[in-house]
Structure 1
Amino acid sequence: MNKPNRHNNHILETESNKFFNFKVPNEWYVDKPEHDYGVDYVVNIVTNNHVTGLSFSVQMKSKIKEKNSNFAVISLKRSTLGLFNTKLEPVFLVAYVQEEKEAYWSWYNELEFDLTSSQKTYTVNIPKTNKLSQIDWNPISKYVQEIFGVKMLVEGIKNLEYDEISNSQILAWKYYFSQDYEKSIFYFKNLLKEKPNDIAVLEGLAQSQYKTFHYKEAINNINKTINLSGTPNQHLTKACILAEDGMQNGIKGKIIEAKNLFKEFLNKDNTQFIFHYNYANTLSRLRYTKEAIYHFELCLKLNPNFEQAWKNLGQVYFDTKEHEKELSCYNKALIINPLLPQALFSKGVTLSRIYNKDEEGLSLMLKAVGNDENMLLEYQYTYFGIAYAYQKLENIKEALNWVNKGLDHYSEDKVYLDFKSNLLINNWKENEWLIDEALRFFEFRLELENDYKSLYSILLIKQLKDKEPIFNLIKKHTSIFRETSFESIKACDLDISDGIIFLLHYDKYLDFRNSHSIYRYSMHLISELYLVSTEFWEILDFIFAKSFSNAITQYFKDTDFNVITETILEDLIISTRSIKVMFPNTDFLQEDAIKIMAQIYSEFPTIIIREFGAQTGTINSVLGIDKTVTKPEFSEEWFEKLNEDSFIEMNKKLKLLKDN
Structure 2
Amino acid sequence: MEFSQEEPNNVSLTKFESMLKTNNVLFFDSEEFENIIHHYLNQGKVSLAKKAIKLGLEQHPTSTNLKLFKVEIFVFENKLKEANQMLDALHVLEPSNEEIYIQKANILSKEDKHEDAINVLNIALDLSEETSELHSLIGMEYLFLDNFEEAKQSFIRCLDEDSEDYSSLYNVIYCFDFLNENEEAIHFLNSYLNKHPYSEVAWHQLGKQYFTLKEYTKALSAFDFAIISDDRFVGAYLEKGKVLEKLKRYDEAIENYILTMELDDPTSFALLRLGCCYEKLGQIDLAKQYYYKTVKEDPLLDKGWIAITKFYNKQQNYQKALYYINKAINIDADNVIYWKLYAQINHRLNFLEEAERGYKRALELGNYELNSWLQRADILVQLGEPEAASYNLIQAAEFYPENAEIEYRLAGIYYSLLETEKGSYHLKNALSFNPEFLFVVEELFPKVYQSTTFTNALKKLQ
TM-score by length of 1: 0.43
* Counterpart secondary structure, 2:232: coil
Q: Does 1:241 align with 2:168?
A: no
Task: Output the CA distance in 1 between the equivalents of 2:461 and 2:270.
Answer: 64
Q: 1:290 to 1:29 in 2, by over 3 A?
A: farther
| Structure 2 equivalent of residue 420 of structure 1 | 339
Task: Output the CA distance in 2 between the equivalents of 1:270 and 1:549.
Answer: 67
| Structure 1 equivalent of residue 316 of structure 2 | none
Q: 1:172 to 1:265 in 2, by over 3 A?
A: farther
Count the aligned residue pairs. 351
| Structure 2 equivalent of residue 310 of structure 1 | 237
Q: Any residues of structure 2 matched to 1:131-142 within 5 Å, and which?
A: none
Q: Does 1:203 align with 2:136?
A: yes
Which one-letter code corresponds to 1:189 in the other structure?
A: S
Q: Does 1:167 align with 2:70?
A: yes
Task: Output the CA distance in 2 between the equivalents of 1:327 and 1:166.
Answer: 50
Q: Does 1:580 align with 2:429?
A: no
| Structure 2 equivalent of residue 631 of structure 1 | none
CA RMSD in angstroms comes to: 5.1
Query: How far does residue 350 in structure 1 lie from its aligned partner after superposition?
Result: 3.0
Q: More strand by proportion, 1 or 2?
A: 1
Task: Output the CA distance in 2 between the equivalents of 1:369 and 1:425.
Answer: 26
| Structure 1 equivalent of residue 377 of structure 2 | 459
Q: 1:335 to 1:50 in 2, by over 3 A?
A: same
Instruction: Give deviations 1:495-547, integer Å, cap 9, x for gaps.
Output: 79xxxxxxxxxxxxxxxxxxxxxxxxxxxxxxxxxxxx996453353643466
Assess if the C-alpha contact under 8 Å between 2:220 and 2:243 holds in 1: yes
Q: 1:233 to 1:341 in 2, by over 3 A?
A: farther
Which one-letter code corresponds to 2:109 in the other structure?
A: K
Which one has a bigger Cα radius of gyration? 1
* Counterpart secondary structure, 1:26: helix
Task: Output the CA distance in 2 between the equivalents of 1:548 and 1:238.
Answer: 60
Q: 1:466 to 1:170 in 2, by over 3 A?
A: closer
Q: Any residues of structure 2 matched to 1:351-430 within 5 Å, and which?
A: 351=278, 354=281, 355-356=283-284, 357-369=286-298, 383-393=302-312, 394-403=320-329, 405-406=331-332, 408=334, 416-428=335-347, 430=349
Which one-letter code corresponds to 2:121 in the other structure?
A: P
Q: 1:285 to 1:489 in 2, by over 3 A?
A: closer
Percentage identity across paired residues of the two chains: 11
Assess if the C-alpha contact under 8 Å between 2:159 and 2:165 holds in 1: no
Which one-letter code corresponds to 1:47 in the other structure?
A: E
Instruction: Give deviations 1:373-415, integer Å, cap 9, x for gaps.
Output: xxx7xxxxx623432214434242332231453454xxxxxxx
Q: 1:207 to 1:351 in 2, by over 3 A?
A: farther
Assess if the C-alpha contact under 8 Å between 2:356 and 2:376 holds in 1: yes
Q: 1:257 to 1:547 in 2, by over 3 A?
A: farther
The correspondence for 2:273, drawn from 346, 369, 372, is 346
Instruction: Give deviations 1:177-206, integer Å, cap 9, x for gaps.
Output: xxxxxxxx9868249767333562662585
Instruction: Give deviations 1:106-129, integer Å, cap 9, x for gaps.
Output: xxxxxxxxxxxxxxxxxxxxxxxx
| Structure 2 equivalent of residue 93 of structure 1 | none
Task: Output the CA distance in 1 between the equivalents of 2:209 and 2:441.
Answer: 40
Instruction: Give deviations 1:482-506, integer Å, cap 9, x for gaps.
Output: 9x999x9479x9879xxxxxxxxxx
Which one-letter code corresponds to 1:452 in the other structure?
A: L
TM-score by length of 2: 0.58
Which one-letter code corresponds to 1:539 in the other structure?
A: L
Task: Output the CA distance in 1 between the equivalents of 2:108 and 2:198.
Answer: 34
Query: How far does residue 163 in structure 1 lie from its aligned partner after superposition?
Result: 5.8
Query: How far does residue 549 in structure 1 lie from its aligned partner after superposition?
Result: 13
Which one-letter code corresponds to 2:431 in the other structure?
A: I
Query: How far does residue 466 in structure 1 lie from its aligned partner after superposition?
Result: 7.0
Point out where structure 2 has 5 or more consecutive residues left out of the alignment.
19-31, 45-63, 78-104, 125-130, 313-319, 418-424, 444-453
Assess if the C-alpha contact under 8 Å between 1:207 and 1:218 holds in 2: no
| Structure 2 equivalent of residue 266 of structure 1 | 193
Q: 1:323 to 1:28 in 2, by over 3 A?
A: farther
Q: Does 1:255 align with 2:182?
A: yes
| Structure 1 equivalent of residue 393 of structure 2 | 474
Task: Output the CA distance in 1 between the equivalents of 2:441 and 2:309.
Answer: 30
My pick for the range that moved more, 320-329 or 279-288, is 279-288
Q: 1:450 to 1:310 in 2, by over 3 A?
A: closer
| Structure 1 equivalent of residue 356 of structure 2 | 439
Q: More helix by proportion, 1 or 2?
A: 2
Q: Which has the higher contact order (CA 8 A, sep 6+)?
A: 1
Task: Output the CA distance in 1 between the equivalents of 2:437 and 2:12.
Answer: 80
Q: 1:368 to 1:162 in 2, by over 3 A?
A: farther
Q: 1:255 to 1:22 in 2, by over 3 A?
A: closer
Runs of 4+ in structure 1 off by over 6 angstroms are 170-174, 185-188, 207-210, 493-496, 548-551, 574-577
